[in-house]
C-alpha cells in the first residue's frame, strides 16, 4: 500500500517568509451522518462526527507582490478558476483588502468526490497558510466563517480537530476520541454531493441525538442508501470491507471506511483489497498539522 510521501503530522518549515512549501491538507471521515432537517434555501441540517486523518494533499504557496493569484499545476477535471484553493485565496484577498498575491501548487493525493473532503481541506489549508503568508491576521472563528462561504465542509478543517457538527456542518464542538486506525477504500467512482442531497428518496427526518450518544451501533450515514442505489460499486465495497470490520460510507461517498484494531490489521486488509479498488490505511490525528498557526 502506498503511503503519502510527506509526514502530515508536521507543519512545514517557515524560515523563508516568502514561501510555505508542503502545507498539509488532511482528509476527514464522517463517522456517522444524520440528516435531521432541511433549511428554506435547500441546504440540509446535519448531525455528524468529523475525524481528521494523517493522510492528505499538500499545497505550496509563494508570495507575489503584484496581487495575482496563480495556480502553477494542472488538477485533472478542476479548471484553475473553479479550484477551491484559488477561490479561497481570492476570498481572503477581497475580504481583507490585501494587495499581495500568491503562486499556488496543489499536489492531489485524495480521490475527488470521495466524501473525504479533499477540496474543502485544500481550501482550509489555503486560508490558514495565506493568512500567515500575507499577515492578514484573521482569527480561527473569522477564517471558519469565511470558509463556510466556500463549502459546508471547509470550517471543520480550520477548526482543526475532531468535531461534532450541527447546522449545515458549521456549528462545531470538539470531540475527544481515542486514537484509531482506519482502512479507507475508494470504489473508483466520483459521487457528486449535490446529487445525493437532492435525491427524492433521501431520509431527511432522522431524530436528533444528544452529543455524546453516537455509538456506531446507534448511528448511520443517511446518505449511504441513496449513494449505494445510484452507484452500486459503493455497495460492493461496503459488502467486501464489512467482512473484515464494520464498514460505512463517509460523507456523500464514494469512499468507504472501517475502524480496525491495529496498523497490522490495516495492512492485511489493504493488501487483500481487490485491485479494481484503491485502499489506504490511515491514522487519526488529534490536531490539524497547521493547528498552531491560528491561536
Ligand X SMILES: C[C@@](CO)(OP(=O)(O)O)[C@H](O)COP(=O)(O)OP(=O)(O)OC[C@H]1O[C@@H](n2ccc(N)nc2=O)[C@H](O)[C@@H]1O
**Rule CB under 6 A: is residue 292 a binding residue for ligand ADP?**
no
Task: Indicate which single residue of 24, 56, 101, 118 sits in contact with ligand ADP (rule: CB under 6 A).
Answer: 118
**Rule CB under 6 A: is residue 193 a binding residue for ligand X?**
yes
13 is catalytic: no
107 within 8 A of 61, measured Cβ to Cβ: no
28 is catalytic: yes
- Partners of 49 in the beta sheet? 164
Other beta carbons within 10 Å of 265: 17
Other beta carbons within 10 Å of 9: 13
Sequence-ordered list of residues with C-beta below 8 angstroms from that of 86, at least 6 positions apart, any chain = 69, 71, 80, 104
Task: Count Cα neighbours of 208 within 13 Å in the Cβ-side half-sphere.
Answer: 11
Task: Indicate which single residue of 8, 30, 83, 92 sits in contact with ligand X (rule: CB under 6 A).
Answer: 30
Task: Indicate which single residue of 117, 147, 155, 289 sits in contact with ligand ADP (rule: CB under 6 A).
Answer: 117
Question: Crossing angle of helices 84-96/118-133, nearest 10°?
Answer: 40
**Rule CB under 6 A: is residue 186 a binding residue for ligand ADP?**
no
Residue 117 counted as an annotated binding residue? yes
> Residue 69 is placed in which grid cell?
493569484
Classify each residue of 29-49 as buried b or exposed e, where b means 16 or more C-beta atoms within 10 Å of its C-beta: bbbbbbbbeeeeeeebbbbbb
**Contact code string over 74-113 relative to ligand X, x by CB under 6 A:** ----------------------------------------
Interface region with ligand ADP, contact rule CB under 6 A, candidates 108-116, 217-225, 241-249, 283-291: 108-116
8 within 8 A of 285, measured Cβ to Cβ: yes
Residue 94 counted as an annotated binding residue? no
- Provide, rounded to whole angstroms, the least separation between the CB of residue 256 and ligand ADP: 13
**Rule CB under 6 A: is residue 29 a binding residue for ligand X?**
no
Residue 139 counted as an annotated binding residue? no
Interface region with ligand ADP, contact rule CB under 6 A, candidates 30-38, 110-118, 170-178, 272-280: 110-118
Among ligand X, ligand ADP, none, residue 161 binds (CB under 5-8 Å by kind): none
DSSP output for 214-264: --GGG--BTTHHHHHHH-HHHHHHHHHHHTTS-EEE-TTSS-EEEEES-HH
Interface region with ligand X, contact rule CB under 6 A, candidates 14-22, 44-52, 63-71, 284-292: 44-52
Which stretches within the chain are classed as H helix?
Answer: 84-96, 118-133, 140-148, 154-159, 193-197, 224-230, 232-242, 263-272
CA pair distance 219, 53, nearest whole angstrom: 21
Comparing CB distances to ligand ADP, the nearer of 194 and 215 is: 194
* Chain residues 48-77 in contact with ligand ADP, contact rule CB under 6 A: 75
Binding site for ligand X (CB under 6 A): 30, 33, 42-44, 46, 48, 115, 117, 120, 151-153, 168-169, 193-194, 197, 251-252
Residue ranges of the binding site for ATP: 111-121
Please list the active-site residues: 28, 153
The footprint of ligand ADP (CB under 6 A) covers: 75, 78, 82-85, 106, 112-120, 122, 190, 193, 251-252
Amino acid at each position: 500500500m502506498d503511503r503519502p510521501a510527506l509526514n502530515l503530522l508536521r507543519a512545514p518549515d517557515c524560515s523563508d517568509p516568502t514561501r510555505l512549501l508542503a502545507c498539509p491538507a488532511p482528509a476527514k471521515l464522517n463517522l456517522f451522518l444524520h440528516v435531521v432537517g432541511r433549511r428554506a434555501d435547500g441546504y440540509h441540517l446535519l448531525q455528524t462526527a468529523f475525524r481528521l486523518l494523517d493522510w492528505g494533499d499538500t499545497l505550496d504557496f509563494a508570495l507575489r507582490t503584484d496581487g495575482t493569484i496563480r495556480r502553477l499545476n494542472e488538477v485533472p477535471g478542476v479548471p484553475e478558476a473553479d479550484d477551491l484553493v484559488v477561490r479561497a485565496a481570492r476570498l481572503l484577498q477581497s475580504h481583507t483588502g490585501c494587495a499581495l498575491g500568491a503562486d499556488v501548487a496543489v499536489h492531489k493525493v485524495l480521490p475527488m468526490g470521495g466524501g473525504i473532503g479533499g477540496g474543502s481541506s485544500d481550501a482550509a489549508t489555503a486560508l490558514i497558510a495565506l493568512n500567515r503568508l500575507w499577515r492578514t491576521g484573521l482569527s480561527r472563528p473569522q477564517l471558519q466563517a469565511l470558509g463556510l462561504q466556500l463549502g459546508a465542509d471547509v470550517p471543520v478543517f480550520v477548526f482543526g480537530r475532531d468535531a461534532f457538527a450541527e447546522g449545515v456542518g458549521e456549528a462545531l464542538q470538539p470531540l475527544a476520541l481515542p486514537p484509531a486506525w482506519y482502512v479507507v477504500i475508494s470504489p473508483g467512482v466520483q459521487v457528486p454531493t449535490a446529487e445525493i442531497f437532492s435525491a427524492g428518496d433521501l431520509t431527511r427526518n432522522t431524530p436528533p441525538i444528544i452529543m455524546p450518544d453516537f455509538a456506531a451501533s446507534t448511528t448511520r450515514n443517511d446518505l449511504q442508501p441513496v449513494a449505494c442505489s445510484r452507484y452500486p460499486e459503493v455497495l460492493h465495497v461496503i459488502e467486501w470491507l464489512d467482512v473484515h470490520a464494520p464498514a460505512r460510507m463517509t460523507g456523500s461517498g464514494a469512499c468507504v471506511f472501517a475502524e480496525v484494531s491495529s496498523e497490522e490489521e490495516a495492512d492485511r486488509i489493504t493488501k487483500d483489497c481487490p485491485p479494481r479498488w484503491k485502499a489506504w490505511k490511515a491514522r487519526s490525528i488529534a490536531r490539524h498539522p497547521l493547528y498552531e498557526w491560528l491561536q
